[in-house]
A and B are shown apart, each in its own frame.
Chain A
Amino acid sequence: MAIEIVQQPAVGLSKIAVSETHGENSPYFAGWKAYDENPYHEKHNPSGVIQMGLAENQVSFDLLEEYLESNQEATSWGKKVSGFKENALFQDYHGLLAFRKAIASFMEQVRGGKAKFSPERVVLTAGATAANELLTFILADPGDALLVPTPYYPGFDRDLRWRTGVEIVPIHCESSNNFQITPEALESAYDHATSMNMKVRGVLITNPSNPLGATIQRKVLEQILDFVTRKNIHMISDEIYSGSVFYADEFVSIADVLESRNYKDSERCHIVYSLSKDLGLPGFRVGTVYSYNDQVVTTARRMSSFTLISSQTQLLLASVLSNKEFTQKYIKINRERLRKRYETIVNGLRKAGIECLKGNAGLFCWMNLTPYLKDATKESELEIWKTIMEEVKLNISPGSSCRCSEAGWFRVCFANMSEETLEVALRRLHEFMDKRRLSMAGRKGERERGAGTMEVIWAGAAEEGGRLIGERSKDRYHFLIRDTMASKLKQFQSKAVQASQFLSKHGNAYYKQLMEENKQYVQEPATVEKCNELSKKLFYTRLASIPNRNESFWKELDYVKNLWKNKKDLHVEQAGIAALFGVECFAWFCAGEIVGRGFTITGYHV
């Protein structure tokens, strides 16, 4: 069937049908397609794409299987003829009471028993997808807005908007404070929505956050609750990863906050939960809306007719979840295993020179590739994402698909694969990063010729440059150089040595091609003196061009002047060259594109 060939039918479909809000044309899904076409398999397709874009929890299946094996009778219809009949016929939208009780009790356990959940308020839906849509239908009219902190789960664009006609207005969160939601950001999002004539109906948070993999602090929850109360709007807390927090005491549910406020203002609060993540059962489509508002409970229940859970699955899970001994053990072991996985990936990435946001929950980490971006744009982010997909063969999710306001962040899932596959993925990334650095360093090195000499030059230049930058970095304009570069430069020396060694071994073919392409730039004879001379030429040319540039570059002049003042004679000049050269080398080392920076020093931290 040729669904791909879209032929416009004679009579129109609805606006919803022809809209793009289902979001399947986003890069998020392109990565999935790449995976589908060439999926990794350790034996059959070891060079295939590894799926790291899927927040699936496969680490604790053995516990469930073990339970099922030892509880045959409880989990199926048993030997009774009536068992099947009764179950197949059960279509009350309240759901099986035993199942609602079991879910409520599981939610309490996950939250350490601090807050109580009443089975009367548990509304069942086919997955969190439907739960979020259902709440949106109930809380907002078409054209109204929900405020959602960025970065957020890409599916929200579909779940909250597509069929409801509701808009998402982003609450911009930034890396500078670890993407925390601030009162200022809330206000600013609210004002933005009002300025666009939208009625704000609520704030939706995911706690723990997807994609950040971090829980939200109690203080922040209090602030949000105060905010929604002040504005008289709703608060939806999507807590589908609450059982996937690595340390139980690091999670505070909105239910806990409400409990401590004696449920004052609780009617504006609604929790979304699901068993897809914490129990790893996405196929079973178990979602729930837990609202503290009676009318929302009643309406949500009525609406759940469109999206009920199979009674067969309710029966099975009622049995599994009402066994407290099992659930306690499961929650504990699952947390431990996820934590271990998280540590494996974060340490592995660190070894490859990649940092992640400090996380404590979820099935993914939030990877920072900002130092490796050509520039801080979405295009550069997608470029590096494409490279990782095509060359490293990893499907990860670019931050832009999560509407992250800063380029260069990626969500990397780690629980939907075996430990072995995770190791393969990390090895691939490690090799890729090495190669990337070395090929960049290699190009530079070969252009300068004389790999042996280069080791010395790089080492000295980097040391001197690093020192200078370190000194200079007391200035507030340059804190970023201090933070992100100076420390890197310290590692530079040994890396440079490695680079030269690698190059002398592997660089031949690449070298030849590179030299052929760039022969017009080559200076003969390529002595150390000549190289120094070229560096000086570059440095002074840059200095000379500064006054002609726009205002922002006066900072750079100021910077260079300062260097000038603080240093003496020829030594200063050399140091300046060294600084420039060191930083430049580092740029090559990381991003491989000195030209992309426009040869500016300040450009490095734009």
Chain B
Amino acid sequence: MESSMKINNHSLLSKIATNNGHGENSPYFDGWKAYDANPFHPQHNPEGVIQMGLAENQLSFDLIQKWIESNQNASICTPQGASCFKEIAIFQDYHGLPEFRTAIANFMNRVRGNRVRFDPDRIVMSGGATGAHETLAFCLADPGEAFLVPTPYYPAFDRDLRWRTGVNLLPVVCESSNNFKITREALETAYEKAKFDNITVKGLLVTNPSNPLGTFLDRETLKDVVNFINDKSIHLVCDEIYAGTVTTGDAFVSIAEVIEEVPTCNLDLIHLVYSLSKDMGFPGFRVGIVYSYNDNVVSIARKMSSFGLVSTQTQHMLASMLSDDTFVENFLSESRIRLARRHDTFTRGLAQVGIGSLESNGGLFFWMDLRRFLKDATFESEMAFWRVIINEIKLNVSPGQSFHCSEPGWFRVCFANMDDETAMIALWRIKSFVRKNRNLKIKTKNQYWQNNQHLRLSSRRLEDMLTPHRMSPHSPLASPLVRAQN
């Protein structure tokens, strides 16, 4: 990198280039750097940091690999499929391959138990869910206008929706006292605050199932949300990229179902974001989808998709894969079983040492409650403890504050991006830390974390795990206990 004369970048580059909108200075990314500097490897670096900050789904690749082996014609690089190479390589229509759109719509239907029908003509491609969110933000709001987002939320929304669009995100504060439920009151409060601050609210963004909570919204909450956005006449962007990870399968309710049950809903306000990065585990393929019920938005988002199209090589392969119904059904059910098993392994194991977590049935992570480990209920303490986790337990989990969580002490733990062996090691590290720490802490005055209530909490968790699907995700998770900790 030769350069003889330095020029002043700050006067030469745009505000976007020189501001912090990319969000890479957040603690969320610090953890990644710590992992990158010292990554765990079972043989080569068994003392390294285990990555539990990455919401990746690695549990069912064998199924996909098997499908690929027996469907060689789906690839344009095999003798069976090479005859399509030219046709596919030069295809640059931003509508995407028709068979790809049909297959995606089909897959989206199946993920939602075929209770809804998605129209392939409304499927708009974008570069991952990242690109899909930005596209919608560009379509729906002007710079300075805002979206409401329930907290805690995915940290990169700050980048995806705000950085290049100039749009604001305003938190809808959700609390552990009611399991982070999105209430009408919280929505109204956030909306009123924006009004008071003279900010135009253009929409509400919900992730369902929630990242980082791993919970999904019940039908009533979704109806409340739909009524709210209709009352205010603002857009609803519903991010359902984890829809296929819901371990209770049919229990998941998509916004696509709910709007059919709310006859007064203005469909022009409803937009969905989908992706294959989580449900199929293909983040590398950059398949993001905008699905809007608003014709104008479909048309404009499609024009915008020129900035982030999916490689036709990938479209071609996925069209073939996702239109294979037998494969899709088998994959979805097997994937759910494996995710549930891994989820239970972790949460039960942690419960054994008295660590609770929010009851959840979806996502590739759970929301771990470490409030009792904090010196005090501040975000400084959260960060201090997070550093302990990184440096001593050698796990990269994500602190709640990076998700804009309103209460310190919660951490997102990803569990599907590793093999069973690594998962056991991670669990063992936490358990042994807690046991060691318990002895240390007993010597101190600060013993409140060890009270009986928490033992009850952990046994409660155990019971829940034994009958995993019995409770609604929003059933009160020992709320009095939760309060007792603060």
A: residues with CB less than 8 A from B are 1-3, 5-11, 13-17, 22, 24, 56, 58, 61, 64-65, 68-69, 72, 75-77, 81, 84-85, 87-91, 118, 120-121, 126-127, 129-130, 133, 137-142, 144, 158-159, 162-163, 201, 232-234, 262-268, 276, 280-285, 292-296, 299, 302-303, 305-313, 316
Contacts and interface: CB of A to CB of B under 8 A. Distances in A.
B62 to A, nearest CB: 7
15 contacts: A7-B295, A16-B138, A72-B78, A85-B61, A88-B64, A89-B281, A126-B311, A138-B14, A263-B4, A265-B5, A283-B92, A283-B312, A310-B285, A313-B311, A316-B313
B313 A283 contact: yes
Interface centre among B91, B266, B296 (most CB of A within 10 A): B296
Given A15-B142, A126-B308, A283-B89, A137 B62 contact: no
Contact of A305 (B4, B65, B159): B159
Q: Which of A129, A283, A313 has the most CB of B within 10 A?
A: A283
Contacts of A264: 4-5
Contacts of A75: 77
A56 B86 CA distance: 12
Given A5-B295, A13-B296, A302 B286 contact: no
Contacts of B266: 9-10
B310 to A, nearest CB: 6
Nearest to A1: B121
Given A11-B268, A68-B82, 5 more contacts: A1-B119, A6-B296, A17-B300, A91-B277, A309-B311
Contacts of A65: 82, 85-86
B1 A1 contact: no
B79 A296 contact: no
A587 B3 CA distance: 59
Interface string B300-321: 1001101111111110010000
A56 B127 contact: no
B22 A302 contact: yes
Contacts of A76: 75, 77-78
B142 A14 contact: yes
**Residue of B9, B24, B121 with highest tally of chain A CB at under 10 A:** B9
B445 to A, nearest CB: 46
A133 B16 CA distance: 13
B286 A309 contact: yes
Contact of A69 (B7, B82, B269): B82
Contacts of B12: 139, 201, 232-234, 268
Given A69-B82, A283-B89, A316-B77, A9 B65 contact: no
A126 B311 CA distance: 8
B89 A17 contact: no
A129 B56 contact: no
Contacts of A303: 22, 163-164
A397 B164 CA distance: 32
B233 interface: yes
A13 B297 contact: yes
Interface string B262-294: 000010110000000100011111100000001
B314 A313 contact: yes
B131 interface: yes
Contact of B295 (A3, A141, A162): A3
Interface in B147-174: 156, 159-160, 163-164
Nearest to A140: B14
B164 A13 contact: no
A2 to B, nearest CB: 7
A266 B307 CA distance: 27
A233 B7 CA distance: 10
Nearest to A76: B77
B384 interface: no
Contacts of A316: 77, 313
> Which 9 pairs, one residue from A and one from B, show the smallest C-beta to C-beta distance?
A311-B284, A283-B312, A9-B268, A310-B311, A91-B283, A282-B92, A85-B61, A90-B284, A313-B311
B15 interface: yes
Give the residue among B1, B78, B121, B145 with the most A Cβ atoms within 10 A. B1
B355 interface: no
Nearest to B316: A283
Most buried by A among B65, B159, B296, B311: B311
Contacts of A265: 4-5, 7
Interface string B50-67: 000000101001101100
A3 B300 CA distance: 10
**How many interface residues does chain B have, given as a range?**
35 or more
A412 B355 CA distance: 69
Given A13-B296, A58-B86, A139-B14, A310 B284 contact: yes
B299 A3 contact: yes
Contact of B91 (A268, A283, A311): A283
A76 B317 CA distance: 12
A307 B90 contact: no
A294 B131 CA distance: 24
Given A308-B128, A316-B313, A138 B17 contact: yes
Contact of B141 (A14, A64, A77): A14
Contact of A126 (B7, B68, B202, B286): B286
Nearest to B91: A283
Contacts of A120: 1
B88 interface: yes
Given A158-B306, A312-B317, A14 B77 contact: no
A374 B235 CA distance: 52
Contact of B312 (A133, A159, A262, A284): A284
A299 B13 contact: yes
A233 B9 CA distance: 11
A10 B285 contact: no
A87 B77 CA distance: 15
A81 B62 contact: yes
Nearest to A155: B306
Nearest to A71: B77
B85 A294 contact: no
Nearest to A91: B283
B353 interface: no
B470 interface: no
Contacts of A142: 143
A120 B1 CA distance: 9
Contacts of B282: 88-89
Contacts of B297: 13, 17
B410 to A, nearest CB: 25
Given A3-B299, A283-B92, A262 B4 contact: yes
A88 B14 contact: no
Contact of B131 (A7, A58, A232, A306): A306
B139 interface: yes
Contacts of B185: none
Contacts of B82: 65, 68-69
Nearest to A302: B22
Contacts of A159: 307
Contacts of A310: 284-286, 310-311, 313-314
Contact of A68 (B4, B77, B90, B233): B77
B130 interface: yes
Given A76-B77, A282-B90, A292 B3 contact: yes
A81 B68 CA distance: 10
Given A89-B284, A283-B313, A308-B286, A130 B307 contact: yes
A232 B12 CA distance: 8
Contact of A14 (B5, B56, B138): B138
B63 to A, nearest CB: 11
B13 A138 contact: yes
B17 A56 contact: no
B298 interface: yes
B234 interface: yes
A366 to B, nearest CB: 23
A137 B4 contact: no
A34 B270 CA distance: 34
Contact of A88 (B119, B284, B295, B306): B284
A313 B287 CA distance: 13
